[in-house]
Amino acid sequence: MGYLLKTRLFLLCIFLFGLSGQISFAQNVDLYPEKSVRIIVPYPPGGFNDTMARIFSRKLQTALGQSFIVDNKPGAGTILGTDLGAKAPADGYTLLVAGFPLVVNQYLSNKLPYDSKKDFSPIILGGQTPNLLLVRSDSPIKSLGDLIAAAKASPGKLNYGSSGSGTSQHLSMEYFKNVTGTNLSQIPYKGSAPMVSDLLGGQLDVMFDNFPNGLPHVKAGKMRALGVTSAHRMPSAPDIPTLAEQGYPGFEVSVWYGLVAPANVPKSILTKINIELNKALKSEDVKENFSAQGVSILGGSIEDFNKFFLAQDAKWSNVISKAGIKSE
């Protein structure tokens, strides 16, 4: 056999080998998932992050024919579970529930074992819920204007509660202080419950809290809401004005809930999951589930989620820098 013919056969073999690999890969994507998929939730059971994961797992199992198993891995302010997600194989068989901490933790700690922007691939933004700016019902502060006037009259005298450094409650107030030119003193708590108790007891002057936590107290007449941090008024509380409409356009804060995968998972797998979850988010039972917990459904494309993440990254890096919050 001549040299030229041998060379051509060799090249043909290489081509066919590569083609068969591509065909095999395409078939694997078409068959995905071929085994159980793990959804890591870096929170304990009970919160909406966990609720959303369980809703998604049921919908994906029905649509794709394999088990999607929720695995709660709380610890270290979501860092433990998030790190497990970052280091999982990039094969689509480990997914991760992600939210507000995925953005802010990178600016609050210089010891993260993962890179929030490089180690994950977005899949879908499930939903978001705003915060409420709250005072107790018998407070002399009756409006947003009253709060700003009182804070400016006595800088540092008014105190506010947060459920911990770097939480959405804390950073909402730091953002508020930036845009209003006010100075309030933080009293950090280990969670929302003791913060709420002290506000009701008169030890705190004001606080931001997640909409689902604060609204029942407002409806019960125990707290007064001075504003909500959503872009538009919430359908379940149409009488509460946004901060944006009260003179601070663009003021928006949300606690958001999304699903990501380790970096380098094939785009076709991410797209397959995204399509099924967008269908799920349009179903009546999911709408009712989200609405009952004060969460607005978002959905959208992988690119939509990526744009949202980058916008959140720019906003909170700026707020944390201006507030001078030190890394751990």
Count the Cβ atoms, other than its own, within 10 Å of residue 64.
15
pLDDT at 25 (0 to 100): 42
Is the CB of residue 103 less than 8 Å from the CB of residue 186? Answer: no
Asked if residue 212 has pLDDT above 50, the reply is yes
Please state the domain extents for the chain.
Answer: 35-128+255-323, 130-246
Q: How sure is the predictor about 17, in pLDDT bands with cuts at 50, 70 and 90?
A: very low
CA–CA separation, 142 and 135 (whole Å) = 8
Q: Does 305 have pLDDT greater than 90?
A: yes
Q: What is the mean pLDDT of residues 24-45?
A: 84
Rounded CA separation 92/85 (Å): 11
Phi, psi of 25 (to 5 degrees): -65, -45
**What is the rounded CA–CA span in Å between residue 123 and residue 90?**
13
Cα 239 to Cα 89, 140, 236: the distances in Å are: 48, 20, 9
Instruction: Give the pLDDT of residue 327.
Output: 57
- Is pLDDT at 290 greater than 70 in this prediction? yes
Q: Which fold has domain 35-128+255-323?
A: D-Maltodextrin-Binding Protein; domain 2 (3.40.190)
Of 113, 108, 129, the closest CA to residue 81 belongs to: 113
Q: Specify the pLDDT at position 2.
A: 57
- What is the distance, to the nearest Å, from the Cα of residue 111 to the centroid of all Cα atoms in its chain? 21
DSSP 130-157: EEEEEEETT-S--SHHHHHHHHHHSTTT
Query: Residue 325 — very low, low, confident or very high, per pLDDT cuts 50/70/90?
Result: confident
d(CA 305, CA 322): 26
Tell me what the mean pLDDT of segment 285-310 comes to.
96
Cis, bond preceding 241 (omega within 30 deg of 0) = no
Q: Please report how the helices 284-292 and 267-281 are oriented relative to each other, as an axis angle in degrees rounded to 10.
A: 80
Q: For the chain, give the percent of residues with pLDDT over 70.
A: 91
Cβ within 8 Å of residue 298, ≥6 positions away: 125, 126, 127, 128, 256, 281
Q: Which tokens belong to 114?
A: 């993962």
> How confident is the model at residue 213, as a pLDDT?
92
The predicted model scores a pTM of 0.87
Nearest CA to 37 among 255, 256, 257, 276?
276
CA distance 56 to 61: 8
DSSP 8-state assignment for residue 66: S
Residue pointed to by tokens 């606080």: 207
Judging by beta carbons within 10 Å of its beta carbon (0-12, 13-18, 19+), is residue 10 exposed, middle or buried?
Answer: exposed
Residue 180 pLDDT > 70, yes or no?
yes
User: What average pLDDT is seen over the chain?
Assistant: 91
> Which of 99, 105, 131 shows the shortest CA–CA distance to 225?
131
pLDDT at 14: 47
Structural contact between residues 122 and 278, judged by C-beta atoms closer than 8 angstroms: no
Query: pLDDT class for 30, splitting at 50, 70, 90?
Result: confident
Q: How far apart are the first and last CA of the chain?
A: 70
Can you tell me the mean pLDDT for 134-147? 97
Q: Give the pLDDT score at 24.
A: 40
Does the structure show a pLDDT above 70 at 91? yes
Q: Are strands 206-210 and 120-136 parallel, antiparallel or unpaired?
A: antiparallel
Range 304-324 average pLDDT: 95
Summarised one tens digit per residue, pLDDT across range 54-71 is 999 999 999 999 999 999
Query: What pLDDT does 29 receive?
Result: 73
Is pLDDT of 27 > 60? no
Q: Percent of the chain having pLDDT more than 90?
A: 83
Domains 35-128+255-323 and 130-246 equal at CATH topology level: yes
Q: What was the pLDDT predicted at 8?
A: 54
pLDDT band at 166 (very low <50, low <70, confident <90, very high): confident
Architecture in CATH of 130-246: 3-Layer(aba) Sandwich (3.40)
Distance of alpha carbon 202 from alpha carbon 198, whole angstroms? 6
> Average pLDDT of 264-276?
98
More confident residue, 27 or 132: 132
pLDDT band at 197 (very low <50, low <70, confident <90, very high): very high
Contacts of 263 (CB under 8 A, 6+ apart): 86, 90, 118, 119, 120, 121
